[in-house]
Every structure is written in C-alpha cells, then in structure tokens.
Structure 1
Amino acid sequence: MKFSELKLNDNVLEALDAMRFDECTPIQEQAIPIILEGRDLIAVAQTGTGKTAAYLLPILNKLSEGGHQEDAINCIIMSPTRELAQQIDQQMEGFSYFMPASSVAVYGGNDGGLFEQQKRGLMLGADVVIATPGRLLSHLSLGYVDLSKVSYFILDEADRMLDMGFSDDIMQIVKYLPKERQTIMFSATMPTKIQQLAKTILHNPAEVKLAVSKPAEKIVQAAYICYENQKLGIVRSLCAEEMPERVIIFASSKIKVKEVAKALKMMKLNVGEMHSDLEQSQREFIMHEFKSGRINILVATDIVSRGIDIDDIRSVINFDVPNDSEDYVHRIGRTARANNDGVAITFVSEKEQTNFKNIENFLEKDIYKIPVPAELGDVPEYNPRTNGGGKGRNFRGGGNRKGRFKGKR
C-alpha cells in the first residue's frame, strides 16, 4: 500500500515525498489507520520494520490538524535508551519538516547544559517530548513540567523498558497524565508482564501483531559448542587468525563486556565498549568512532541490539546465547544490511544449550557447529535434551579454523 492511500494530510504526505517514502511497511499499513481513528493500540513488531514512522506519522497528522493547546506538551514518547530517543528525534525532525510541530529529546548525561536545554523545551511546551523514563522523572520531580494536556502517550520498545527495570518509572509517569488520552504501545515481544502493563494503562486497545521474521538468508550463521571458560580463548583465536572488520560482540552483562573488551585491548585491537555504566558523552563518542571505522570491534550489552542504524556490520558474535529467539534475531540483524553479506557466530556453553536449541527450532534449521580450536581442550557434546548437554561425552576440538569472519562453512 502507498502512503497516499492512507488518510494522511497534505503536510505529512509532502514530507514523505521529500524523504522519498512511498510504500508502507506492513506495520505502518496496519497501525496508522488505527491510530488515526483515535484508538489505543498494542503493536508487536521488530526493530527495522518501520515502527517509528508507524506512530510518528499519524500523531503528526493529528497535531497538524489543530485543536491542541499551544505551548503545551501534547505527546510523550517513551524510549528505553538515549540512543533510540535520539534516533526518534531525528526522524521526528524529518517528518515534521513541513509542519509547525516542535519536539525535544529528554535523556540522561552529565552535561549540565543539556539538562537546561531540556528544561527550557519542557517548560515552553514542546508538542512532542521523546524521553527516557529516568530523565523525564527527574524533570517532573522538580515541579516545572505540566503533562496535564498530553493527548498521546507512546511506549516504544516497551518490553525492553521493562527488562531494564523501568516498570515503576512508567507507572509514576502515568500518574501525571490525564485519563483521557490515546495510549500506544510498541513491543518486539509479548511476554506476560507486557500484557499486564497493557491491561493497566491501555483502554480497549486494538492489537496488531506481525510475525517475527527469520534472519536474512545472506547471514551465515554458525556456533561454537564450548565451556564458559573457553569463550575468551575463542574470541582471541578468531581475532588472531584474521583482523576483524566492523564486528559487534554481544555479551549478557556489563561485567562480561568489560572483561572481553580488556582481553581484546591487550591484543592491541581497536576496541570500544558500550554499556549502561558509560556517560552519554562517552557512548556517543564510542558510537561515532565505530561508525567512522576508527574502532572496528564494539563489545556491547543488548543496549545496541535494537535501533542502531549502521549498515556495514560484517560480523556479529554472541558471546552469550540470547534469552529468546526474538533477541537472537535482533542481534544478528545488525549484520547483512543494505545488500551486504554478514556472519553471525554464537558461543554456546553447557547451560545455554537448551536456549540455543529453542532458537534453532524457531529458525527451523540446525546452525552449523564450528570445531573449537584444539589448543583450548575438550568441549562438551551438543546434547540439549540432557539438562543443557553437560553429561554427554567430551570430544576434542580442532579442524580447519581459517576464514571464520568470512563465514566459511
């Protein structure tokens, strides 16, 4: 379906034409008419499906038609991370180019000037406020933010916000909002806690659910079946054999990110780390260095598995198996974009075998298992049916270990 077939006004269509947006994605085709009707909505869609435009376009359409109080905050968009808030703000700037709609992005950081800038935007009443929960609450607690005129409340990546512990913050923010509002929730997954949140803050919502798409066929997927204490050795082996080019290594915790980054820095590799302990200015600097190619390995928590727009990631390494299939798809979806090829490698310890088998079942394929370098010793058998596979016989690694970053099968 073309955007011109939707009931969007001329200002919005003009902006879309200028940005060369013509065809709707499936989530846009289904969500935009519902939001234009004024109904609450819960939508399940992955990152990369065009979900940001699916809520920004109809909201801008409504704002441009008038009837909203001037100098008031009319829309709140909640984001789990600063990086996603910045990206939403950038898209907002593009879509609102031909409309008098104002926006301010509100997120944490040590820059006092940034806080003052956000304070001014909030006090003047930006039409759209794009915010991380903690920073918005900081401003609210100081008493100068009026959310009583908010007509639209949007939660983007709601599941990620709950995973990051923002549930109480969200409920605190809801208390500042009027009961009469339109609430829109986007989530990549629909666990029980998301269903409970939806029942609490949405009113008779419409539901749109897109099936989680499988990873692109051009992503070469492989795995190492190993012991937990062998993972660092495998990373060192991979990087020693062939200088990696534009790689993201995902780890499950900040501690592991720091450990892996330290080991690679000792190998004199250009490594950056990304996790929630970093200040905003540090995170922006690391991401800029990675995008520009001055850093070619980024070790990160799931903070960058969604919403980071870099087209030429050559390889993704899952230092730990993601918790579910959707997270796996999000992580490896960072590679093989914009018609490039890509490689996705996962390290699977004994305890992670059942999770990894669930991912294989979701993908409806067996992922190729690369032999672990022989010098790292015995490895567990891949036998996820026996409590994670730890009781199977051991066998020695080895075999051809060349060309891994090129996705050699």
Structure 2
Amino acid sequence: MKFSELKLEESVVEALDAMRFDDCTPVQEQAIPIILEGKDLIAVAQTGTGKTAAFLVPILNKLSTGNYPEDAINCVIMSPTRELAQQIDQQMEGFSYFMPTSSVAVYGGNDGILFEQQKKGLVLGADVVIATPGRLLAHLNLGYVDFSKVSFFVLDEADRMLDMGFFDDIMQIVKYLPEERQTIMFSATMPAKIQQMAKTILRNPEEIKLAVSKPAEKIIQAAYICYESQKLGIIQSLFADQVPEKGIIFASSKIKVKEVTKALKRMKLNVGEMHSDLEQSQREAIMYEFKSGKINILVATDIVSRGIDIDDIRSVINYDVPHDSEDYVHRIGRTARANNDGVAITFVSEKEQSNFKSIEDFLGKTIYKIPVPAELGESPEYAPRATRYTGGRKPRKNYKSNGGNKKNTQATSKKK
C-alpha cells in the first residue's frame, strides 16, 4: 500500500513526499488505519520495521486537523533511551515540517541548561513530548507539567523499558494522564509483564503481530566456542592483522564494556565506549566520533543495539551471547546495512551455550564455529543443555560442532 492511499491530511502527505516516503511497510499499513480510527493498539514489531512512522504519521495527521487545544501537551511518547528519543524527535521534525506542531525531547543528563530548556517546553505546552521515563517523572514530580489534555500516549520499545527497570516509573506517569486517551504500545517481544501492563493501561486494544525477521542473508555469521578467559585473547587475535573499518563490540554489562575498552586501548586501537554511566554530552560526542570515523571501534551495551542508524558498520562482535533471539537480531542488524556486506561474530562461553543454541534454533541454521587460536589453549566442546525443562533430571546431550572441539590445535578454519 502507498501512503497516498491512506486518508491523510494534505500537510502530512506533503511532508511524506518531501521525505520520500512512498510505500508503507507492513507495520505502517496495519497500524496507521487503526490509530486513525482512534482505537488503542498493541503492536509487536522490532526496530527497523518503520514503527516510528507507524505511530507518528497518524498522530500528527490528527493534530493537523486543529481539533486539539493549543499551548497544551497533546501527545506523550515514551522511549527507553536518550538516543531513541532524539531520533523520534528528528523524525517528528520531518513529518511535521508543513504543520505548526511543536515538540520537545525530554531525557537525562547533568546539563542544567538542558533541564531548563525541557522545563520551558513542558510548561509552554509543546504538542508532542518525547521522553525517557526517569527524566519525565522528575519534571512531573516538580509540579509544573500539565498532562490533563493529553489525547495520545505512546510506549515505544516497551519491553526494553521494562528490561531497564522502568515499569514503576511508567505506571507513575500513567497516573498523571487522563483516562480518556488513546494508548499505543509497540514492543519487540510480549513477555508476561508487558501483557500485564497492556491490560492495565490499554482499553480493548487492537493487536498487530509481525514476525521477527531473520538477519540479512549477506551478514556472515560465525562463533567461537571458548572459555570466558579466552575472549580478550580472541579479540587481540582478530585485530592483530587487520582492524575493521568500523565495528561494534556488544557486551552485556557496563563493567565488561569498560574492561574491553581498556584492553583495546592498550592495543593502541581507536576505540570508544558507550554505556549509561556516561553523561549525555559524552555519549553524543562519542557517537559523533564513531559516525565520522575518528573512532572505528565502539564497545557498547545494548543501548545502541536498537534504533541507531549507521550505514557503514562492517562488523559486529557479541562479546557475550545476547539474552534472546530478538536481541541477537537487533545487534547483528547494525551491520550489512544500505547494501553493504557485514560480519557478525559471537563469543560463546560454557554457560552461554544454551542461549546460543536457542538463537540457532530460532534462525533455523547452525552458525559456523571458528576454532579458537591454538596459542590460547584448549576450548570447551559445544554441548548445550536444554534451556527450558521442568520435571526430573534431563539426560545430557552431546552436540558435535564444526570447530568447537576440545582440542583444536590441528583444526583449520574455513574462509567464508
């Protein structure tokens, strides 16, 4: 379906034309008509499916009719991270280019000037507020934010917000909203706590569920079956001859990000780190240096695995196995964008084998196992146990792999 086939206001159509939005993605085709009808919606869709436009376009279309109060907050969009809030705000600017619609992005940081700018936008009543939960709640608790006229409440990447511990914050924010509102929730997964939240804050919602897409075929995927203590050695071996033009190393915790970054700096590599301990100005500076090529390796938590568009990333290394298949798809999806090729390598320690097997099962393929460099010593066998089992003792299974042998000093790796 084309956007021109939807019942959209002329100002919105002009903005879509200017931004070269022609054909709807599946989530846009399904979500936009439902939101235009004024119904609550819960949509299961991952980053990269066009979901931001799926909620921004119909909401802006409604605001463009002029049937909503001026100088009042009409829409609140919740985002798990500062980076995603900024991106939504940028898209908001594009879609509302031909409309007198205002917005303010509200996110954390130690900049007092930024806080005052956000306060001004909230007090004056920006049409659309795009915010991270913690910072928005801080403003609300100070008593100068009026949400009494909010008509639209959007939760973007709801599962990520819950993973980051924002459930209580979101439920506190909901108390400030009028009961008569349209609520829209987007989530990449639908765990029990998301379902619980949906039942609490949505009214008779329509549901959309898009299957999680598999990684692009042009991404070359491989793995090392290794001990935790061998991971840094493998990185050193990988970068000994050639450093990637631009690559991201994902780690599961801030501590590991800092450890890996220090190790790579000792190797005299141009490396930066990205995690929530950094101030906003530091994060923006590092992301700018990475995009511009001053830094060619970014070590990060999952804060950059979703919603960050950088087209020329050549490699992704999972220092730790992601917790679920969707996270794996999001992480490695940072490479092989804009018709480029890409490589995704995952380090799999003994305790991570079951998680990795679940990812292989989801992908419907066996990921090639590269032998650990001989100088790093023996590596464990790839013998993942069943991940979810209730009842008595389950017999162990022994899975053979093409490279995760106990002794691999004579193994040779294939070139792909």
| TM bracket (short chain) | over 0.9
What is the SS of the residue equivalent to 1:30? helix
**Residue equivalent to 1:336:** 336
Query: Shift of residue 390 of structure 1?
Result: 9.9
**Residue equivalent to 2:179:** 179
Q: Show CA shifts across 1:174-213 (max 9, x none).
A: 0000001000000011111111110111111000000000
In 2, the alpha carbon distance for the partners of 1:348 and 1:66 equals 55
Alignment of 1:157-168 (within 5 A): 157-168=157-168
CA separation of 1:389 and 1:88: change in aligned 2, threshold 3 A: farther
CA separation of 1:340 and 1:225: change in aligned 2, threshold 3 A: same
2:131 corresponds to which letter in structure 1? Answer: A
Alignment of 1:5-404 (within 5 A): 5-385=5-385, 394-397=406-409, 399-400=411-412
In 1, the alpha carbon distance for the partners of 2:119 and 2:59 equals 23
In 1, the alpha carbon distance for the partners of 2:192 and 2:375 equals 45
Query: Shift of residue 144 of structure 1?
Result: 0.6
What is the SS of the residue equivalent to 1:379? coil
CA separation of 1:44 and 1:398: change in aligned 2, threshold 3 A: farther
In 2, the alpha carbon distance for the partners of 1:192 and 1:225 equals 32
Query: Shift of residue 241 of structure 1?
Result: 2.4
In 1, the alpha carbon distance for the partners of 2:122 and 2:398 equals 55
In 2, the alpha carbon distance for the partners of 1:127 and 1:179 equals 19
In 2, the alpha carbon distance for the partners of 1:87 and 1:127 equals 17
1:114 corresponds to which letter in structure 2? Answer: L
- Decide whether the 8 Å contact of 1:380 with 1:390 is kept in 2: no
Q: Show CA shifts across 1:314-354 (max 9, x none).
A: 00000011111111000000000000000000001111111
2:306 corresponds to which letter in structure 1? Answer: R
1:51 corresponds to which letter in structure 2? Answer: K
TM-score, normalised by the number of residues in structure 1: 0.96
What is the SS of the residue equivalent to 2:183? strand
**What RMSD in Å do the two structures reach over aligned CA positions?**
1.6
What is the SS of the residue equivalent to 1:343? strand
CA separation of 1:251 and 1:37: change in aligned 2, threshold 3 A: same
In 1, the alpha carbon distance for the partners of 2:73 and 2:288 equals 31
What is the SS of the residue equivalent to 1:396? coil
Query: Shift of residue 41 of structure 1?
Result: 0.3
CA separation of 1:192 and 1:398: change in aligned 2, threshold 3 A: farther
In 1, the alpha carbon distance for the partners of 2:344 and 2:399 equals 27
- Decide whether the 8 Å contact of 2:382 with 2:399 is kept in 1: no
2:407 corresponds to which letter in structure 1? Answer: F
Q: Show CA shifts across 1:224-267 (max 9, x none).
A: 00011111111111111212220100000001100100000000
CA separation of 1:365 and 1:391: change in aligned 2, threshold 3 A: closer
CA separation of 1:339 and 1:229: change in aligned 2, threshold 3 A: same
What is the SS of the residue equivalent to 1:322? coil
- Decide whether the 8 Å contact of 2:15 with 2:95 is kept in 1: yes
Q: Show CA shifts across 1:19-44 (max 9, x none).
A: 11100000000000000000000001
- Decide whether the 8 Å contact of 1:381 with 1:389 is kept in 2: no
CA separation of 1:241 and 1:389: change in aligned 2, threshold 3 A: farther
Q: After superposing the two structures, state which structure 1 stretch, 388-397 or 279-288, moved more.
A: 388-397
TM-score, normalised by the number of residues in structure 2: 0.95
In 1, the alpha carbon distance for the partners of 2:337 and 2:193 equals 32
- Decide whether the 8 Å contact of 2:325 with 2:358 is kept in 1: yes
- Decide whether the 8 Å contact of 1:351 with 1:389 is kept in 2: no
CA separation of 1:389 and 1:248: change in aligned 2, threshold 3 A: farther
- Decide whether the 8 Å contact of 1:273 with 1:298 is kept in 2: yes
Aligned length: 404
1:395 corresponds to which letter in structure 2? Answer: K
In 2, the alpha carbon distance for the partners of 1:46 and 1:243 equals 31
CA separation of 1:68 and 1:187: change in aligned 2, threshold 3 A: same
Q: Show CA shifts across 1:149-181 (max 9, x none).
A: 100000000000000000000001000000010
2:171 corresponds to which letter in structure 1? Answer: M
Query: Shift of residue 385 of structure 1?
Result: 3.2
Query: Shift of residue 394 of structure 1?
Result: 2.4
Q: Show CA shifts across 1:5-56 (max 9, x none).
A: 1111111101101111100000000000000000000001110110000000
**Residue equivalent to 1:405:** none
What is the SS of the residue equivalent to 1:395? coil
Query: Shift of residue 373 of structure 1?
Result: 0.3
